[in-house]
């Protein structure tokens, strides 16, 4: 429960950060090795702004009485070029996944408590296509260092993808 309160507090603090009025905000869904999986919020300054830097956060909890899965992620985005219908960008992201299953059946001799976690960290390069005025789809290929349950798992180019609505 403390973990959920921490997530809600973090989202509330991020929402209170003042941003310039000339910016693009978007919400949608994202999944990937350095993005996490779930609902996403993305901030990008307008093209005319001095800074090409933006950011994206993603997360989704699924928690029941005895088990759960929580996915969180975040990335810094750097706009390389943007036209009317497409944008090229570079990023540095981190995505994590935690899963647990607490055994609630003491009579089952094969029942064991389990927990696993994994994290992916790395830079990437991608593009975003504006399909409609306010709807965009992005694909990115990061070079993610994957760590699972505290052990180095590998270096993988596992893609990230987002479908977002801009305003």
Domains, in order of start, for the chain? 22-166 (2.40.160.20)
CB under 8 A, 24+ apart: contacts of 141-145 = 142/32, 142/33, 142/34, 142/91, 142/93, 144/33, 144/34, 144/95, 144/120, 145/120, 145/121
Rounded to two decimals, what is the model's pTM?
0.79
Does residue 21 have a pLDDT over 50?
Answer: no
CB atoms within 10 A of CB 79: 18
Does residue 80 have a pLDDT over 50?
Answer: yes
pLDDT digit string (tens) for 41-69? 999 988 776 789 999 999 999 998 889 99
- The C-alpha atoms of residue 132 and residue 166 are separated, in whole angstroms, by 10
Specify the residue for token string 């759960």.
68
Coil, helix or strand at residue 5: helix
């Amino acid at each position: 429960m403390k973990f959920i309160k921490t997530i809600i507090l973090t989202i509330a603090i991020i929402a209170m950060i003042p941003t310039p009025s000339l910016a693009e905000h978007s919400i949608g869904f994202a999944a990937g090795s350095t993005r996490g999986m779930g609902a996403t919020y993305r901030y990008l300054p307008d093209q005319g702004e001095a800074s090409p830097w933006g950011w994206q956060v993603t997360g989704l909890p699924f928690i029941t009485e005895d088990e759960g899965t929580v996915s969180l992620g975040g990335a810094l985005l750097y706009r390389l070029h943007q036209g009317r219908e497409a944008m090229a960008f570079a990023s540095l992201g981190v995505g994590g996944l935690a899963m647990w299953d607490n055994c609630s059946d003491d009579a089952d001799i094969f029942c064991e408590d389990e927990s696993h976690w994994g994290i992916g960290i790395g830079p990437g390069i991608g593009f975003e296509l504006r399909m409609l005025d306010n709807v965009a789809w992005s694909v990115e290929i990061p070079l993610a260092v994957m760590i699972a349950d505290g052990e180095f798992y590998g270096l993988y180019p596992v893609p990230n993808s987002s479908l977002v609505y801009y305003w």
